[in-house]
Structure 1
């Protein structure tokens, strides 16, 4: 695929790195970001030391290629503190619920700044923390989403739930309160899409690995249930694999339902 290396600035002057992948003759654009600890490329879980964290190679390029082949332009950016984008001075990160929403809005502002993009019909592929950032942005600047046609999100996450699951698995459930006290700038209870899902006004498709040991199904189900309207879809992966990152590869390996969702709503 032909592509452009580009950069743009968030409102707090954080420089974000991105790829623009054009689809000749198309007036449709999908803006993509990524989960925490990954970047626009994905995750090199086939290599040390990353395999010690999760030994799955995530290739978002497969998603970009599937979208490109379906005649979608693609803008894929690294969020702050990730990939080739700038890190901020204190390295603060809120899993999408701190200043990461500014990255989502910066991508919109960049699109509006380019004559060949500003009239395009827009969809979002924003997984996990990237999806949380998008939901947060919908709360902060809802007017930017009035013309967004569709939203696809793999595995939205509540960090208060995930931290409890992790501590329980280590037999350290009594330390949940102590952990919460150590979090600075943003309470654990604020790091959840539950606070923003009610502001989603666009057709939304969520996928989640049901047996993901890093979370519980009820958390994702609650996010889904809080989304108003009927134009929404939740797909559970049911193959018994407990690794979270298989959910990030799902749309790359099985792009048909993602493409169908975008085709249905972006016309």
Structure 2
């Protein structure tokens, strides 16, 4: 366990200690959430798939075929989520992300929308999530280790002739979006055949921690959380700044979020969008929304703008 004092040896009161330790551990260690639904719950046929990440970690996923379609969308989940979504309607996950973010997130509804509009779908669990393999001492970096899972997924697609010939798009949320940005930055050649990207809810870990501490009245302790996070992961929170990799993302990219999201700040998404290297890009705020979960559910409720983006670039 991390030292219970700040670097200048001032003791932390119990409430501050609990919040700081929870933040560092919550970001540094993986906490698996269960897969409670499958595509069959929405009437879809699907294939259970398993393949290695680029460093050999076994990844588990679903392939949802659409008869006659030559278009494939790869779906990536958020931190702590899995390919099914997130069971935030039951504890302990109900309390994980604050008031309002406490209803079930069911991504199988998203896959149904994509399927019914002519897309094959591949969704997978990142390492240490869902049913994919343990890795890196059960540490989550939010962006570094997980880039290997993105590259492994693209390699798997290329290894299956019926998938390799398809027009490819990516729908990556939150951590999945940040991981994709970093993977493009570090290995751009792997994305040569990716036609477009939808990357909602981009979030830099340090901004998340800053917002969470501010909401808890602990704004002065960001560096202490960072110190403890580094002791767990050997990486700093600032290493996850999505704007640093955005200039490398040159494929057509659409992003969106919730402006009043309590666990981040609007400037983080705005900065990432402004830094994008893509000539063809777009961004919007989910209207009449007050919590992050509204943006996670936006596609299944109002899919047209996202579907139009895929359709425009996945011809």
Q: TM-score, normalised by structure 1?
A: 0.96
SS at match of 1:245: helix
1:266 correspondence with 2:314: yes
Within 2, Cα distance between the matches of 1:174 and 1:137?
A: 32
Aligned-pair RMSD on alpha carbons? 1.1
3-state SS of 2:196 partner: strand
Superposition pairs for residues 26-105 of structure 1, below 5 Å?
A: 26-53=69-96, 54-95=101-142, 97-105=143-151
Tell whether 2:281 aligns with 1:235.
no
Tell me, in whole angstroms, the C-alpha distance in 1 between the residues paired with 2:103 and 2:259: 17
Matched, 1:130 2:176: yes
Q: Which residue of 2 is the match for residue 245 of structure 1?
A: 293
User: Among 200, 212, 220, which residue is 1:154 paired with?
Assistant: 200
Counterpart position of 1:188:
237
Distance 1:62 1:240, change over 3 A: closer
Q: 2-side partners of 1:89 and 1:165: how far apart?
A: 27
More off after superposition, 232-241 vs 123-132: 232-241
Q: Deviations over 1:86-144 (max 9, x none)?
A: 1215111111x211001111110000111111111100000000011111110111011
Greater Rg, structure 1 or structure 2? 2
SS at structure 1 position matched to 2:250: coil
Q: What residue is the counterpart of 1:166 in the other structure?
A: 212
In the TM superposition, residue 188 of structure 1 has moved relative to its aligned partner by 1.0
Cα offset, 1:237, TM superposition: 1.5
Q: Of residues 221, 226, 229 in structure 1, which corresponds to 2:275?
A: 226
Secondary structure of the residue aligned to 1:104 is helix
Q: Does 1:210 align with 2:259?
A: yes
For the residues of structure 2 that align with 1:82 and 1:70, how far apart are their CA atoms? 28
Q: Report if aligned partners of 1:44, 1:50 keep a CA contact under 8 Å in 2.
A: yes
How far apart are 1:264 and its partner, in Å?
0.4
C-alpha contact 1:62 1:253 (8 A) present in aligned 2: no
Q: Distance in 1 between matches of 2:122 and 2:128?
A: 18
After TM superposition, the runs of 4+ consecutive aligned structure 1 residues lying more than 3 A away are none
Corresponding residue SS for 1:30: strand
Question: Secondary structure of the equivalent of 2:138?
Answer: coil
Q: Does 1:120 align with 2:169?
A: no
Distance 2:151 2:184 in 1: 9
Deviation string, structure 1 residues 16-63 (Cα, Å, up to 9, x no partner): 000000011111100011000111101111222221223121111111
Which residues of structure 2 form unaligned runs of 5+? 1-43
Total equivalences in the alignment: 265
Q: Distance in 1 between matches of 2:186 and 2:192?
A: 13
* TM-score (normalizing by structure 2): 0.82
Partner of 1:12: 55
Helix, strand or coil at the partner of 1:8: strand
Structure 1 residue 111 and structure 2 residue 157: aligned? yes
